[in-house]
């Protein structure tokens, strides 16, 4: 399928902004919380925001595929797929914590080429397209240099998921080896790495809509997003972000405990 990467990129940024801004209508307001089949929370803000993004994609790019966390898949055979997460960090959202994000990843022939991480409550837009660099609110951004784990700030979403997914010992080792650990997690943690404000973010459990923008954003920021075996992919169900220099030491920890 022929496509214009720059036009697609600009549209993805605009659509993420529209979806994310709609969440603010409900942020820090009383909102009913439902439970999905996997016991994860969902709200009207998640569902409405994804609908807004899907509607914009269908209007501008009829025939493109869409995979969304809340409303499923459409046009699955299309060469171009939009992967949507209207609120990544719904638990933060429902507790009035601003570290949630709206995510868009665009895949062409199953290859990630565009990534958008938008934190509407923080007014932070981090976006990237293949070969075009990464920007935070329009300004170029990059991962920061880090001499090793002993100097690194380490982020995670929580301190329990690693154990329940078999990464408990590796996670504890990373906490012990790094200078600082904080739970500024979900996609916002990966954005912190891409924008040079943290050194390592680990997610032991990721769905495709959680991971879709991360590879493009981190690569274009001069860093890496990969799974615990070192494969740079959004398909493995786990992943970490860091600088290229830090990657071997992180992988050494995983190899020692897996």
Q: Would strands 134-136 and 124-129 be described as parallel, antiparallel, or unpaired?
A: antiparallel
Please give the model's pTM, rounded to 2 decimal places.
0.97
* Cβ proximity of 226 and 247 under 8 Å: yes
- How far is the first Cα of the chain from the last one, in angstroms, to the nearest whole number? 41
Q: Would strands 180-182 and 139-140 be described as parallel, antiparallel, or unpaired?
A: unpaired
> Residues 105-112: what's their mean pLDDT?
97
Q: Would strands 80-88 and 72-74 be described as parallel, antiparallel, or unpaired?
A: unpaired
Q: Which residue has the tokens 């404000």?
A: 197
How far is 13 from 103, CA to CA, in rounded Å? 10
> pLDDT (tens digit, 9 = 90+) per residue, 209-241?
999 999 999 999 999 999 999 999 999 999 999
Token pair belonging to 184: 């500024």
* Cβ proximity of 228 and 240 under 8 Å: yes
When pLDDT is cut at 50, 70 and 90, the band that residue 37 belongs to is confident
> pLDDT (tens digit, 9 = 90+) per residue, 137-194?
999 999 999 989 999 999 999 999 999 999 999 999 999 999 999 999 999 999 999 9
- When the candidates are 3.40.50.720, 3.30.70.580, 3.40.190.80, 3.40.50.2300, the CATH number that belongs to 149-257 is 3.40.190.80
* Cβ proximity of 161 and 204 under 8 Å: yes
Which among 234, 235, 229 is positioned nearest to 247, based on CA atoms? 229
Q: Which residues pair with 139 in a beta bridge?
A: 136
How far is 40 from 94, CA to CA, in rounded Å? 12
Average pLDDT over all residues of the chain: 97
When pLDDT is cut at 50, 70 and 90, the band that residue 6 belongs to is very high
> Residues 64-86: what's their mean pLDDT?
97
Which among 147, 99, 146 is positioned nearest to 124, based on CA atoms? 99
Which among 137, 148, 152 is positioned nearest to 195, based on CA atoms? 137
Percent helix, strand, coil in the chain, to 5, is 35, 25, 40
Domain 149-257 in the same topology as domain 5-132? no
When pLDDT is cut at 50, 70 and 90, the band that residue 1 belongs to is low
Domain boundaries, the chain: 5-132, 149-257
Instruction: For residue 168, count other CB atoms closer than 10 A to its CB.
Output: 16
pLDDT over threshold 70, residue 11: yes
% of the chain with per-residue pLDDT over 70: 99
Span 5-132 CATH architecture: 2-Layer Sandwich (3.30)
Q: Which residue has the tokens 């569902």?
A: 47
When pLDDT is cut at 50, 70 and 90, the band that residue 79 belongs to is very high
When pLDDT is cut at 50, 70 and 90, the band that residue 258 belongs to is confident
């Amino acid at each position: 399928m022929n496509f214009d990467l720059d036009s697609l990129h600009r549209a993805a940024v605009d659509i993420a902004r529209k979806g994310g801004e709609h969440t603010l209508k409900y942020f820090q307001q009383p909102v009913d919380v439902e439970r999905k089949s996997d016991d994860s929370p969902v709200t009207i803000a998640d569902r409405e925001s994804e609908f807004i993004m899907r509607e914009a994609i269908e209007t501008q790019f009829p025939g493109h595929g869409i995979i969304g966390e809340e409303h499923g898949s459409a046009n699955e055979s299309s060469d171009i797929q939009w992967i949507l997460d209207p609120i990544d960090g719904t638990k933060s959202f429902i507790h009035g914590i601003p570290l949630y994000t709206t995510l868009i990843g665009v895949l062409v022939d199953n290859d990630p080429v565009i990534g958008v991480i938008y934190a509407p409550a923080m007014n932070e837009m981090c976006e990237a397209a293949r070969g075009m660099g990464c920007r935070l609110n329009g300004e170029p951004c990059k991962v920061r240099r880090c001499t090793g784990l002993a100097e690194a700030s380490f982020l995670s979403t929580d301190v329990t998921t690693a154990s329940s997914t078999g990464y408990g010992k590796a996670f504890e080792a990373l906490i012990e080896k790094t200078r600082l650990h904080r739970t500024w997690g979900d996609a916002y943690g990966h954005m912190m790495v891409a924008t040079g404000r943290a050194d390592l973010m680990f997610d032991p459990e990721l769905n495709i809509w959680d991971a879709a923008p991360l590879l493009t954003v981190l690569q274009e920021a001069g860093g890496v997003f990969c799974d615990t075996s070192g494969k740079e992919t959004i398909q493995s169900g786990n992943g970490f972000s860091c600088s290229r220099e830090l990657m071997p030491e992180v992988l050494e920890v995983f190899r020692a405990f897996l």
